[in-house]
Amino acid sequence: MHYVIIGNGVAGITAAFTLRERDRHARITVISGESDYFISRTALMYAYMDRMNLRDLEPFERKAYDKQKIDRVRGWVRDLNADQRQIRLEDGRKIIYDRLLLAVGSAPNRFQWPGLNAAKDGVVHFVSLQHLAECEGLTPSTKRAVVVGGGLIGVELVECLVHHGVEVDFLVRESWYWPMALAKEEGELIANHIRRHGVKLHIEHEVNAVRADASGRVVSVSTNKGLDLPCQMLGICIGVRPAVDWLKPVTTPPEINRGIKVNQSFQTTLPDVFSAGDCAEFVRPDGSPLVEQIWYAAKRQGELAARAMLGDAVDYKPSLFYNSAKFFDIEYTTVGDVTRLPDDATSFLHRLPGDAVSIRVIERNGSVIGFNMLGSRWDHTWFERWIHERRSMEDVMQQLHLAQFDVEFGRVRLDGVRAAFAEYLKTGSRRAA
């Protein structure tokens, strides 16, 4: 049996090691155009800030692949012929598979703003090792940068540039920072924090046009609100999409919508071809499509897809949404539904006066459904448990100390939170989340 995996991200590598655990004899090949070894994509920013070297981005010892007999192939796959069970790489090499996993991840979005195509130099994304190298190469000749896109990748790129002494204009199209994941109050708290780091954050600004000099280096970006921002670097961080463009013209493409369509057993529409991670698209029970583009989901999908490839009966159910990150030095933990809530959801929000710390607990029909915590550290497994157990908000607020990681946050401060919660209950001020 030859298992071939395209993509050595967390989904592909987790699948490879899971296959090996269960099948000591099969041939396992992992192919990647990006890197020889699996890297932690979420830590790219620490490499850019020189806090980690490139080797530190690799979660596993390099010898692990040989020890586990996982063959690594470097190169871009350009064709898939499911009738012949064969893939072909850009350089012409052909590989025959028995079972194939497409774990090809995400690619950055790009708009066709006027002038962008003429800017051959200085325009970057921040998703891959190649992007990291481009950013590092441009930084010494960059005094000012414009970063577009108010999500997690955008703010990470901004933080890296600020770290290197670059002046940054940060353009966010929406009415507050990251409405996909933060309610207005938290979005404003983060926006103020970003500004305190010297970043010029422009809310409700979109790119109008990009200008380059005669050599092709970007020199300015104009916005819909009339700003003309000089810059030597333009970071485009306007979201990611499944990296499936290369699959559309292949000999036998799988069915693709936004991502590669799979059933709950990770099977694509092609025989013995599976897909997992950022590129896979599931169907929710209500029929709507679901593409999960987060680390923990990709890891879990990689493991389950491997089991499906081994012949186990697998019925994938997405976990509760969980994410944890940092906006400069503000910790962020979110679990469950925190945005796009139904009208009958209510939330308790408490902000610590003078601090960039806030707690939001969301409830619906007497049970908690989401947590959004900024500026302090929490053990998300408690939040997940309380949501699964359908605990009431009152119960959760009593137990909140159990989920505290952060000793500096302290019990005293939690007393303040509980006092605010008692007031919230007393005034009957449960309000729409």
Ligand X SMILES: Cc1cc2nc3c(=O)[nH]c(=O)nc-3n(C[C@H](O)[C@H](O)[C@H](O)COP(=O)(O)OP(=O)(O)OC[C@H]3O[C@@H](n4cnc5c(N)ncnc54)[C@H](O)[C@@H]3O)c2cc1C
Return the axis-axis angle of helices 184-196 and 152-163, rounded to nearest 10°. Answer: 10
**Residues in contact with 183: Cβ distance below 8 Å, sequence separation at least 6, in sequence order:** 338, 339, 347, 349, 360, 372, 433
Q: How far is the CB of 248 from ligand X (least distance, A)?
A: 12
Which residues face 71 on adjacent strands? 29
- Which residue's CB is nearer to ligand X, number 59 or number 342? 59
Q: Which of 105, 130, 182 is nearest to 151 (CA)?
A: 182
Cα angle for residues 359, 361, 364 (degrees, 5° grid): 165
- Which residue's CB is nearer to ligand X, number 298 or number 417? 298
Structure tokens at 63: 């010898």
DSSP 93: -
- Which residue's CB is nearer to ligand X, number 230 or number 239? 239
Q: How far is the CB of 67 from ligand X (least distance, A)?
A: 22
**Residues in contact with 116: Cβ distance below 8 Å, sequence separation at least 6, in sequence order:** 110, 123, 210
Q: How far is the CB of 147 from ligand X (least distance, A)?
A: 12
CA neighbours closer than 13 Å in the CB half-sphere of residue 277: 27
Q: How far is the CB of 153 from ligand X (least distance, A)?
A: 5
Residue 69 CB coordination number (10 Å): 12
- Which residue's CB is nearer to ligand X, number 153 or number 393? 153
Residue 259 CB coordination number (10 Å): 25
Q: How far is the CB of 333 from ligand X (least distance, A)?
A: 11
Q: How far is the CB of 121 from ligand X (least distance, A)?
A: 22
- Which residue's CB is nearer to ligand X, number 298 or number 393? 298
The residue ranges that bind ligand X (CB under 6 A) are: 6-12, 31-34, 41-42, 44, 76-77, 103-106, 126-127, 152-153, 156, 243, 246, 277-278, 293-296, 298, 323, 325
Q: Which of 182, 189, 186, 228 is nearest to 205 (CA)?
A: 228
- Which residue's CB is nearer to ligand X, number 164 or number 413? 164
State phi, psi for 322 to the nearest 5 degrees.
-140, 135
Q: How far is the CB of 279 from ligand X (least distance, A)?
A: 6
Q: How far is the CB of 80 from ligand X (least distance, A)?
A: 9
Q: Which of 287, 293, 282 is nearest to 242 (CA)?
A: 293
Tell me which residue has tokens 């991840």. 105
Listed as own residue / partner, the contacts of 162-166 with beta carbons closer than 8 Å and 24 or more positions apart are: 162/197, 162/198, 162/199, 163/48, 163/49, 164/49, 164/139, 166/139, 166/142, 166/233
Q: Which residue's beta carbon is nearest to the bound ligand X?
A: 105
Report helix, strand or coil for 38.
coil
Q: Which of 299, 302, 188, 168 is nearest to 237 (CA)?
A: 168
Report helix, strand or coil for 237.
coil
Q: How far is the CB of 315 from ligand X (least distance, A)?
A: 20
- Which residue's CB is nearer to ligand X, number 43 or number 227? 43
Could you give the CA distance from residue 279 to residue 261 in angstroms, rounded to a whole number? 9
Q: How far is the CB of 269 from ligand X (least distance, A)?
A: 18
What one-letter code names the amino acid at 127? Answer: V
